[in-house]
Structure 1
Amino acid sequence: MSFIITTYCNEGIVMASDSRITYNNTSKGQNDEIINNVGINLSDNVNKLFLTKNGIGISTCGTAAIVNFESNVAEPISGHVEKIINEEIYEEDNVDIVVEKIIKYFDKFNNNLDTTFHVAGYDKEFNRKIVRFNLATGKREDFGKEIAGATWDGETIYFSKLFNETEVSGNSKFVFPQLDIPFQFFNLQDAIDFCRFAIDITIKTMRFTNVVKTVGGNIDVLGIKPDEEIWISKKELY
């Protein structure tokens, strides 16, 4: 499933992702309910966060493999994203054009991929643009016009619980109120710390929970400012 997050503030945009890919073998029960039989950790070295030649960030989560009909073999989406970056995206392309090219590229496979993308960057006038979209549903949301904020996708239930109102029952009931995050006061380092925190707490919560550990591996973090892009952390070949 993965976990990706994009946080933005007055100083710039921060994008982050984990690095794990898992294979889930599912089947149907007596009442057609989906049964998750096994979850296998295939790799902790998958790239889910990318930077284009013209300074636009791309992150992805959800279905992480696509079937090549010519070979009938499942191929990682990461290789296809890198192909789009190398062959399809040009210096003058803005965020909207990059989104269109990603959708057009994957449409030809007709795989109905339940894959979500975040695409973020600045145009030549230094206007911030962040787009979140899903290939299967076609749903698209645009972010970034606000002063600051964040959006995250993938295995979000654990992190999102921290900020939702929660009722605890016992000898007496107590309601933990929904927490307010002062994004408007974030600087770029705060955004970096928030992204790392979101993924790290998801990894650690899943570690001590009886669930398939779908989030893990290195945390890649990319900072995008109006005038430059910085890899804060990125796994390397060695």
Structure 2
Amino acid sequence: MSFVITVYIPGGIVMASDSRQTIGIQRVEESAKDHPPIPIVSSDYVYKTFLLESSQVGISTFGEAFLGKMGTDFHLKTFEEEDLTENDDVESIAEKLLNFFKRNFPLADTSFHIAGYKKRGKISTPYVYHCNIKRAELKRLNYVKEKDQILYGASWGGESDIITEILQPAWMKDNTGDLKQVPKPQVIWDIMSLQDAIDFAVYAVKTTIDTMRFQARPKTVGGPIDVLLITPQGTNWIKRKGLLVE
């Protein structure tokens, strides 16, 4: 599994992800044939956030990672080479991405965040999408169509229970036994600075990693954190693991 997050504020978009890759190993003993696969960490050096250089569009992936015995990163490169043109923008790329994976892997429970900017007249407008292949779902996350209004906030995917519990309202029973919503203090996204957005994205990934360390559960999120910044002026890798020899 994975944890990815996309933060979208007035100044730009921040995409961050962990680097851990886990695979399920099925025990071969007859007595264990009905048991669920055992999650094994196969790498702490996998890329889950990508930049399409020609279009300045960022893509993060989570969920099912091996499609046709190849990693999602391989298929994203194939998609970029075979399906995209120099005229594509974030909107058309999101639609083409869904069609590409739906055509080749219709049952894959793989999800993506796709983010970038597109000119509407003279104004650079942010677009942030969530895409799920199995459900053939493509949804713009940062826009209210009825009000023609851009939204600011954060969306995350993968092993999301830890950060969701911290930020989302909880439910408790009152004295009568009825469920009552207990709100959490709000994060004011509309006035958040770029540095704070970067810090928040890293915080969300790191908190997930650190909390899992102490919980009795598979450690499915870990490794270095990659951070991509997208603004109307361009893109920048705030943090990107590289190849090295120790």
Query: Does TM-score exceed 0.5, indicating one fold?
Result: yes
For 1:13, the equivalent position in structure 2 comes to: 13
Give 1:218 shift. 0.8
Instruction: Give the partner amino acid of 1:162.
Output: I
Report matched runs for 1:33-72 at 5 Å: 35-53=35-53, 54-67=55-68
Asked if the contact 2:95/2:138 (under 8 Å) is kept, the reply is no
Give 1:90 shift. 2.6
For each residue in 1:14-51, what CA deviation from the matched residue of structure 2 results, as whole angstroms up to 9, or x when unmatched? 01111111012469xxxxxx853411001111111011
**Quick one: distance in 1 between partners of 2:217 and 2:106?**
27
For 2:201, the equivalent position in structure 1 comes to: 195
Give 1:165 shift. 3.6
**Quick one: distance in 1 between partners of 2:233 and 2:86?**
14
For 1:124, the equivalent position in structure 2 comes to: 119
| CA gap 1:35/1:185 in 2 versus in 1, 3 angstroms | farther
For 1:107, the equivalent position in structure 2 comes to: 102
Which of these residues, 205, 220, 231, is aligned with residue 237 of structure 2?
231
Asked if the contact 2:102/2:136 (under 8 Å) is kept, the reply is no
Asked if the contact 1:162/1:179 (under 8 Å) is kept, the reply is no
Which of these residues, 201, 211, 219, is aligned with residue 213 of structure 1?
219
For 2:210, the equivalent position in structure 1 comes to: 204
Specify every segment of 5 or more residues in structure 2 that has no aligned partner in the other structure, as ranges. Answer: 28-33, 144-149, 174-180
Local SS of the residue matching 2:216: coil
Local SS of the residue matching 1:98: helix
Give 1:95 shift. 1.4
TM-score normalised according to structure 2 size:
0.83
Asked if the contact 2:16/2:201 (under 8 Å) is kept, the reply is yes
Matched, 1:75 2:59: no
Local SS of the residue matching 1:107: helix
**Quick one: distance in 1 between partners of 2:170 and 2:156?**
20
Instruction: Give the partner amino acid of 1:231.
Output: W
**Quick one: distance in 1 between partners of 2:152 and 2:96?**
27
Give 1:182 shift. 1.0
**Quick one: distance in 2 between partners of 1:167 and 1:147?**
25
Which stretch shows the higher mean deviation, 202-211 or 157-166? 157-166
Asked if the contact 2:102/2:134 (under 8 Å) is kept, the reply is no
Asked if the contact 1:121/1:130 (under 8 Å) is kept, the reply is yes
For each residue in 1:47-97, what CA deviation from the matched residue of structure 2 results, as whole angstroms up to 9, or x when unmatched? 110111210001100000012xxxxxx111111112222443233211121
Matched, 1:161 2:165: yes
Local SS of the residue matching 1:127: strand
For each residue in 1:154-178, what CA deviation from the matched residue of structure 2 results, as whole angstroms up to 9, or x when unmatched? 1000111002344789xxxxx9642
